[in-house]
């Protein structure tokens, strides 16, 4: 194999690699290795270790924080050329290069074999970071997380003696490398080594490629509706959030008739149109349209007048009216609902909910929505179902009994606005969890944060006064085991960032 292409700051393509989706962060590495094979990754890591240079890895460029664009990073490994997707007859599993984007993976798996994975809806997200943090999407209530279908992983690691090698670790408990596989089922990226390839096969799946991974529904319903702020008073707002939480508490099992439904409630600041609900539902089961209409009616009961969702209030095009779902072929619906590369400045925060928001929390959310900005939103996503059928310790991803995933988001373009938007999201989040030290400490209602939505404020005692460390918020009781894997496979802490797993 030829050597990797190496870019320096004077190369025209350099700027396209060192800037990710969040324009708050721009890297300044001296060297960018654009790799196309495992051997090139081994060589790049070995060179960085030999020269004592700090390194980082870039896949799709969607890291929410400045972990990859850290100014201390001197060597960046760009994985985008490692993007092949194919059937591996030897392992009887799908081999996916760690630099592939989700959209390319969906198309390849479905068009060639009629299968899919329950991953996210933003097609440009790289699988390297997405998979290693868990991998959630609209099919997860039916099929679990992406890591629940991870059979094996190839990782370039560094030994205590500085030797660099590629290791394949599988979910076979008898595999001497099994702990490395487990760490990549939710331990997050950038901690244990450089993932070069994933193999995907569902438990009990294969050896036929057509049965090795889930089959998506042939058709799905899409529905979108908005409750305009002009029609929403405080009582209607409370009712809407309560209805959404209560419904998900009652429909959280994998056997539920609504396991094929995934909804997102977009609670936008009052400068925007209103609060929008967008829903995707498997259209192949009996009476799915009736079930979908009943769901929308139940969420909106007692809320106020609703109207069609506008193009500005979400990523799914509006149906002709608020009561008319659209039925589409699965792949087309998957592409239509795909998120886009915003390439703006942004900040994100997250929480898992075992139950809906309390009255005090709803009051805090209501108060936060006066922010005079159209791109400030709290998004609540359906959770539970097959996700919760897996034991919390079976994978490194621990959040296995939640019913909702919450994500605060704010986007802007002018660096001069950094302080006011960061202040808004930090204060809004802290107010919701004020009785827990400003963060969603696990209890009977809450269950920490999503490692794929990293938030450095969780490590800041000024914003997290709970006494619960960020490691517990992300990893729960699995953190101690992750530290043991770290000690075995990265004893020199070669792979690190502001919130990577620490050596014990």
- Grade residue 340 by pLDDT with cuts at 50, 70 and 90: low
| Residue 304: HSE in the Cβ half-sphere, 13 Å Cα cutoff | 19
Please give the structure tokens belonging to residue 450: 């999503």
pLDDT at 318 over 50: no
**What number of residues does the chain have?**
504
> In 271-358, which residue ranges form alpha helices assigned H by DSSP?
288-300, 330-336
* pTM score: 0.95
List pLDDT tens digits, range 160-211: 999 999 999 999 999 999 999 999 999 999 999 999 999 999 999 878 999 9
Residue 136, C-beta contacts closer than 8 angstroms, at least 6 positions apart: 118, 119, 120, 145, 146, 381, 383, 387, 405, 450, 452
Rounded CA gap, 394 and 306, in Å?
43
Nearest CA to 30 out of 45, 9, 47 is that of: 9
- Grade residue 262 by pLDDT with cuts at 50, 70 and 90: very high
- The answer to whether the beta carbons of residues 149 and 204 sit under 8 Å apart is no
pLDDT of residue 253: 97
pLDDT at 336 over 90: no
pLDDT of residue 308: 64
Calculated CA dihedral for residues 446, 452, 453, 454, nearest 10 degrees:
100
State the average pLDDT for the chain.
Answer: 94
- Grade residue 339 by pLDDT with cuts at 50, 70 and 90: low
pLDDT at 314 over 80: no
């Amino acid at each position: 194999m030829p050597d990797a292409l190496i870019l320096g700051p004077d190369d025209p393509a350099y700027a396209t690699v060192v800037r990710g989706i969040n324009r708050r962060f721009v890297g300044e590495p001296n060297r960018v290795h654009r790799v196309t094979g495992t051997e090139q990754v081994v060589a790049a890591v070995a060179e960085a270790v030999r020269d004592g240079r700090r390194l980082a890895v870039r896949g799709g460029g969607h890291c929410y924080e400045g972990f990859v664009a850290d100014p201390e990073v001197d060597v960046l490994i760009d994985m985008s050329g490692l993007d092949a997707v194919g059937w591996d007859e030897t392992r009887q599993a799908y081999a996916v290069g760690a630099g592939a984007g989700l959209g390319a993976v969906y198309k390849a798996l479905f068009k060639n074999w009629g299968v899919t994975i329950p991953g996210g809806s933003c097609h440009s997200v790289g699988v390297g970071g997405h998979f290693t943090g868990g991998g959630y999407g609209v099919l997860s209530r039916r099929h679990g997380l992406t890591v629940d279908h991870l059979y094996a992983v190839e990782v370039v690691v560094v030994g205590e003696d500085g030797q660099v090698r590629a290791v394949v670790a599988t979910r076979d408990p008898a595999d001497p490398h099994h702990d490395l596989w487990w760490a990549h089922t939710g331990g997050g990226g950038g901690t244990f080594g450089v993932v070069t390839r994933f193999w995907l096969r569902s438990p009990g799946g294969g050896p036929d490629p057509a049965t090795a991974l889930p089959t998506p529904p042939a058709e799905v319903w899409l529905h979108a509706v908005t409750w305009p702020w002009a029609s929403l008073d405080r009582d209607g707002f409370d009712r809407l959030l309560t209805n959404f939480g209560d419904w998900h508490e009652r429909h959280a099992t994998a056997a539920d008739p609504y396991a094929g439904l995934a909804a997102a409630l977009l609670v936008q600041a009052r400068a925007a149109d209103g609060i929008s609900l967008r829903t995707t539902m498997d259209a192949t089961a009996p009476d799915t349209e009736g079930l979908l209409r009943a769901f929308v009616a139940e969420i909106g009961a007692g809320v106020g007048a609703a109207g069609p969702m506008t193009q500005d209030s979400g990523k799914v095009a509006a149906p002709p009216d608020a009561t008319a779902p659209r039925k589409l072929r699965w792949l087309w619906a998957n592409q239509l609902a795909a998120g886009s590369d915003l390439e703006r400045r942004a900040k994100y925060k997250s929480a898992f909910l075992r139950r809906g928001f309390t009255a005090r929390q709803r009051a805090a959310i209501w108060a936060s929505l006066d922010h005079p900005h159209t791109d400030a939103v709290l998004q609540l996503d359906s959770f539970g179902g097959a996700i919760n059928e897996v034991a919390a310790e079976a994978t490194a991803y621990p959040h296995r009994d939640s019913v909702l995933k919450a994500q605060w988001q704010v986007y802007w373009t002018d660096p001069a606005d950094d302080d006011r938007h960061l202040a808004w999201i930090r204060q809004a989040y802290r107010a919701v969890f004020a009785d827990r030290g400003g963060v969603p400490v696990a209890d009977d209602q809450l269950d920490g944060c999503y490692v794929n939505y990293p938030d450095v404020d969780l490590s800041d005692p000024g914003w997290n006064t709970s006494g619960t460390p960020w490691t517990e918020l992300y990893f729960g009781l699995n953190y101690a085991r992750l530290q043991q894997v770290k000690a075995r496979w990265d004893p020199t802490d070669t792979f690190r960032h502001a919130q990577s797993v620490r050596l014990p």
